[in-house]
Amino acid sequence: MLSDRDYMRSDYPRQPTSSLVWLLAGTGAAFCLQLLLGSPRFSWGEGLLAQLPLTVRSLQSGHLWTLATHALLLRTDQPFSILATLLGLVFIGRELEPILGRRKFLALYAGSILTGGLTWTAVHWTNGGVLIGPGAGILGLLVVLACMYPNQEIRFLLMFLFPVTLRPVYLVAALLVLESAWLIVYEIPGGAAPFSLSASAHLGGMLAGWIFYRGFHANNGWDRAASLELPGWLRRSGRPRAATGGLNPPAARTSAELKAQVDRVLDKINSQGFGALTEEEKRLLDEAKDLLSRQ
């Protein structure tokens, strides 16, 4: 029978759907649902949508979920908002998710949105206002990408007509200056910023991205004690350094041990991303690569 043949069986390992795809699908579905509930056919839809934006009064009333649900809403009178959101997630997420892994990628996005909402609340506590949109989450992702690859060129079409090439570090710097200016000129005095942009929320998301990179990604996070070493002039020469981290030293590894340890490291990359590897695990991969090249 065909089912007895290995190549006809359906139990082969399947790659899970990436978190970026789920995020894009959820964003698009939320926008379509927002349009549907906002139509005159659903008289109760407006009442439901009114429970989702972030306002100072909603927090004072105990509606803490608005710190997250405001990111599900977009400006329906500006079709460019959904397009810019999806394009931003695609261009940044496809570069960032393979490095961070699914969980850290989503945690960074959600944490940036939450920090942006809290920052906006602090600025608007007396003046009030309404916050919607996931701009803080996208800018948090952009900051992390700029920290990892500051000089990698990004090409896109401005207004879908003019080709523009930018480096992430310059783009983040320009946005930082522009958002800070809008915060001082418009939001703090209580005015409305152009295009209804919320500079305070965006700056909060950028701050969350920087904290994530410095605290949880660069140099193995806040716990840098394992990577600290004495200066060269304080270390005694001629004394071999003991191996740490639970991996056998290269000379003591057999072929089977090396394969088992490489498999464990590859599983870690698949679940947490390449950025989660320690220096010793990266050296293990280099050793395995050199061994394969000599065979």
Q: Which domains does the chain have, with CATH numbers?
A: 19-220 (1.20.1540.10), 250-295 (no CATH)
Q: Which of 19-23, 76-80, 175-179, 192-196 has the lowest mean pLDDT?
A: 192-196
Give the mean pLDDT of the chain: 79
pLDDT band at 4 (very low <50, low <70, confident <90, very high): low
The two structure tokens encoding residue 21: 């795809």
d(CA 66, CA 43): 22
* Under 8 Å between Cβ of 132 and 54: yes
| pLDDT tens digit sequence for 147-173 | 998 888 777 666 556 677 778 899 999
pLDDT band at 242 (very low <50, low <70, confident <90, very high): very low
- What secondary structure does DSSP assign to 94-130, as a single string? HHHHHHH-HHHHHHHHHHHHHHHHHHHHHHSTTT---
